[in-house]
């Protein structure tokens, strides 16, 4: 399968995940009465859009994200507060003004900042939770519907000849120089034969087959195989091969020239929560170490060290991995393995979106959740003291942090994209 197919599949999957992430914000916001003037996938110039009710839905040219515009994200300034001056104060003032400009006259009650704190939390958590839900669905399908690939007792296509130097007379055969006849093929074993017993001992796993073959020291081995629903017994004469190892030493072993195919082992649905938790916890650990990971990727990009397989990757790296998955040979592996791997990759990306967006810093969803929690605590404390319920949390004051986070994320993205081009992670 072409690597382009993998790239297309993962790009479409990521865009769909982003689109559903924004749906996770939009649906509860509309249910709570917030006016939502725009819902777009992508950034930059508008490619297509349509209006349904008060919301414009559309697609923009740069497929690197998406957004849903909620009216009144920042509350107006406290009239009793002392005005501040300076660049940071100007940023905050401009953010408030832009937010308030979208509030239509008479619809102040539909502004986001007027929602109860618990409603704000539901709206802002809706996006990350949607990504978690997508991941759970994908992992359930792959775990329960397919499971894990394991070696089976079904024989893959046996080669007629094998590489090595024979040390016994059983090596006769019409094979090229440097190769000897494969005993299994010469004895009539073919792809699809299922090994039921070795030397009269039943075998249910490939490990049992390999162990039984290693224990036999007779001149011939009796294999009971199932083919087309019927059992047959085949006598195979192992060949003793001598092979040179990478360190220059030579080893000898008995060999009949068969290898197993892989088969799916579906897992119980009870294993899904554990798999999801392991991925969430693993992603959280990666995010905690993100500055170090980016630094290591930068060193690898400029040739100072090798890039490890556990390195973080950008969208370019994800696309490259998807392309490698679909272009890898699938010998002895079920054809569905490629699609299962892509589904698992997409599930991992959605878990990454879930965890990353919970970081309690704006412009990430977690920053707005933190603001809602702060507002909830302030109100609870005021009620407990019998005081007037305070104004909505002034999240506009976090705008400078949002700008700083934007530039930090942009810088990290550029570094990782460059690293993925010049020093890609190999799978």
22 annotated active-site: yes
Residue 277 CB contacts under 8 Å (≥ 6 apart), including other chains: none
Q: Which residue has the tokens 């011939």?
A: 220
Q: Quick one: angle between helices 399-422 and 315-327, nearest 10?
A: 40
Could you write out the three-class secondary structure of the chain? CCHHHHHHHHHHHHHHHHHHHHHHHHHHHHHCCCCCCEEEEEEEEEEEEEEECCEEEEEEEEEEEEEEECCCCCCCCCCCCCCCCCHHHHHHHHHHHHHHHCCCCCCHHHCHHHCCHHHHHHHHHHHHHHHHHHHHHHHHHHHHHHCEEEEEEEECCCCCEEECEECCHHHCCCCCCCEEECHHHHHCCCCCCEEEEECCEECCCHHHHHHHHHHCCCCCEEEEEEECCEEEEEEECCEEEEEECCCCCEEEEEECCCCEEEEEECCCHHHHHHHHHHHHHHHHHHHHCHHHHHHHHHHHHCCCCCCCCCCCCCHHHHHHHHHHHHHCCCCCCCCCHHHHHHHHHHHHHHHHHHHHCCCCCCCCHHHHHHHHHHHHHHHHHHHHCCCCCCCCCCHHHHHHHHHHHHHHHHHHHHHHHHHHHHCCCCC
Of 22, 244, 305, 306, catalytic: 22
Please, is 251 exposed, middle or buried when counting C-beta atoms within 10 Å of its C-beta (0-12, 13-18, 19+)? exposed
> Could you count the other beta carbons within 10 Å of the beta carbon of residue 327?
14
Cis amide linkage into residue 363, ω under 30° from 0: yes
CA of 95: how far to CAs of 89, 111, 215, 283, in Å?
10, 15, 76, 32
Cα–Cα distance for residue pair 393/113, rounded to 1 Å = 8
Catalytic residue positions, numbered:
22
């Amino acid at each position: 399968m072409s690597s382009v197919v993998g790239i297309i599949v993962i790009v479409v999957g990521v865009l769909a995940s982003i689109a559903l992430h924004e749906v996770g914000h939009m649906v509860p916001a509309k249910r709570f009465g917030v006016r939502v003037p725009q819902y777009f996938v992508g950034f930059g110039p508008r490619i297509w859009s349509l209006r349904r009710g008060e919301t414009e839905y559309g697609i923009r040219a740069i497929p690197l994200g998406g957004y849903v515009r909620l009216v009144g994200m920042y509350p107006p300034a406290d009239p009793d507060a002392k005005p501040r001056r300076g660049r940071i104060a100007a940023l905050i003032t401009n953010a408030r003004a832009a937010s308030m400009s979208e509030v239509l006259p008479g619809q102040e009650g539909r502004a986001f900042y007027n929602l109860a704190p618990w409603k704000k939390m539901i709206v802002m958590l809706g996006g990350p939770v949607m990504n978690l839900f997508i991941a759970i669905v994908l992992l359930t399908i792959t775990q329960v519907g397919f499971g894990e690939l394991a070696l089976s007792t079904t024989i893959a296509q046996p080669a007629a000849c094998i590489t090595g130097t024979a040390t016994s007379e059983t090596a006769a055969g019409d094979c090229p120089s440097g190769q000897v006849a494969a005993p299994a093929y010469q004895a009539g074993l073919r792809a699809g034969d299922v090994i039921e017993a070795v030397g009269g001992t039943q075998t249910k796993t490939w490990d049992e087959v390999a162990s039984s073959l290693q224990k036999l020291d007779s001149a011939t081995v009796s294999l009971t195989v199932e083919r087309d629903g019927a059992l047959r017994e085949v006598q195979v004469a192992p060949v003793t091969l001598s092979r040179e190892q990478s360190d220059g030493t030579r080893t000898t072993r008995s060999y009949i020239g068969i290898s197993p195919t892989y088969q799916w082992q579906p897992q119980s649905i009870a294993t899904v929560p554990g798999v999801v938790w392991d991925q969430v916890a693993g992603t959280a650990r990666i995010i905690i170490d993100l500055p170090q990971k980016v630094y290591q990727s930068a060193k690898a990009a400029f040739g100072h060290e090798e890039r490890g397989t556990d390195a973080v990757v950008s969208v370019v790296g994800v696309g490259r991995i998807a392309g490698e998955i679909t272009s890898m040979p699938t010998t002895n592996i079920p054809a569905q393995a490629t699609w299962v791997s892509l589904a698992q990759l997409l599930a991992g990306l959605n878990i990454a979106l879930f965890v990353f967006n919970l970081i309690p810093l704006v412009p990430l969803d977690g920053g707005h959740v933190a603001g809602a929690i702060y507002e909830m605590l302030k109100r609870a404390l005021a009620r407990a003291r019998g005081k007037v319920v305070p104004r909505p949390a002034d999240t506009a004051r976090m705008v400078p942090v949002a700008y700083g986070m934007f530039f930090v994320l942009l810088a990290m993205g550029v570094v990782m994209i460059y690293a993925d081009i010049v020093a890609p992670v190999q799978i």
